[in-house]
Amino acid sequence: MSENPEQPPTTPTPEPNDSPLIDRGPVAPSIPNPGDIFDTSGYSRSWFTYLALFILIAFPLSNLIATGDPAEAIKILGQYPMVFYISTMIFLWGLFAMVYVAVWKEGQSLRSLGFTGFRGLHLMQGFTFFLVSIIVLKGIEFVLEELGYHSIGELSLLLPDTALERVMWVALSITAGVCEEAAFRGYFITRFREMTPKIWPSKARWLAPVAVSALVFGLGHTYQGVSGFVMITAYGVMISLLFLYTRSIWPAIFAHFLLDFINLFVPLLESNSN
């Protein structure tokens, strides 16, 4: 009876996903948000984090103090709409630059603000949210008017009238969508949550950042009066939930852009009605 010759040891074939020959590119940096939604590995809080959060809170508060009579403030701004558009864009991009520096000093990238790979689905999510938010905001506006808090009619003074102003309004709408969402949703919510007590349940730790972010966002629009403050704060809560639900900043940016962009047609509609 012959014996089988000893077989040489076989090297296991690597699985396709484990093949060393496949270049998967650089590993995406983790998003510095705790809990079961975002990963916190690699996040290093710096002193600039506290400075950025302080500025994001302090400026809206100072705006509340400096505004005075909202109607009078809007009348003054409305006299020079181009100056208002350009100065607002400069400020917002400066805000974005501050957030970018803070992210860089934390050892992260813009992915940590929700700037993930852009997909067509994000446009659909943003557009759907835009339609729903319009209905909700109109309902809130109706309730506020019933309570005696009417929208400030002088807001129309800030809207574009000439062709050049309309072009600048589109640029302003894009700027507001990108910069405000990156600052108040992408950065403020994720970093503020890092400072909430670790003993809180994971989802409960999102409540304080969402509430504070929406309140600060609303305070930055107090020049629109009580009605505008309430509506913008409510919008801040809704769009924060959109950011957390989609785990991307793109839907929020697109929805925010649409909300500002549609105001471009208000003067045209008013002129046609007259």
Q: Which value, to the nearest 10 degrees, does the dihedral of the CA atoms of residues 43, 125, 260, 137 take?
A: -100
Residue 30 forms part of a structural domain = no
Residue 35 forms part of a structural domain = no
The average pLDDT across 175-197 equals 93
Residue 5 forms part of a structural domain = no
Instruction: Give the least confident one: 116-130, 193-207, 211-225.
Output: 193-207
Whether the full predicted model's pTM is greater than 0.85, yes or no, is: no
Residue 24 forms part of a structural domain = no
Confidence of residue 24 (pLDDT cuts 50, 70, 90): very low
Which range of residues forms the domain containing residue 266? 44-109+121-273
The average pLDDT across 101-125 equals 92
Half-sphere exposure of 164 (CA within 13 A, CB side): 5
The average pLDDT across 249-255 equals 97
Higher pLDDT residue, 11 or 203? 203
The number of folded domains in the chain is 1
Residues 106-115 pLDDT 10s: 888 888 899 9
Residue 156 forms part of a structural domain = yes
Instruction: Please state the three-class secondary structure of 175-206 as a single string.
Output: HHHHHHHHHHHHHHHHHHHHCCCCCCCCCHHH
Residue 151 forms part of a structural domain = yes
User: Does the pLDDT of residue 269 top 50, yes or no?
Assistant: no
The average pLDDT across 60-86 equals 77
What is the C-alpha to C-alpha distance for residues 252 and 127, in angstroms, rounded to an integer? 9
Residue 37 forms part of a structural domain = no
Q: How far is CA 61 from CA 56, 208, 221, 222, 237, in A?
A: 9, 18, 10, 9, 18
Q: Where are the alpha helices (DSSP H) in the chain?
A: 47-67, 70-79, 81-105, 120-146, 163-180, 188-194, 207-219, 225-246, 250-261, 266-273
The average pLDDT across 150-159 equals 72
Residue 164 forms part of a structural domain = yes
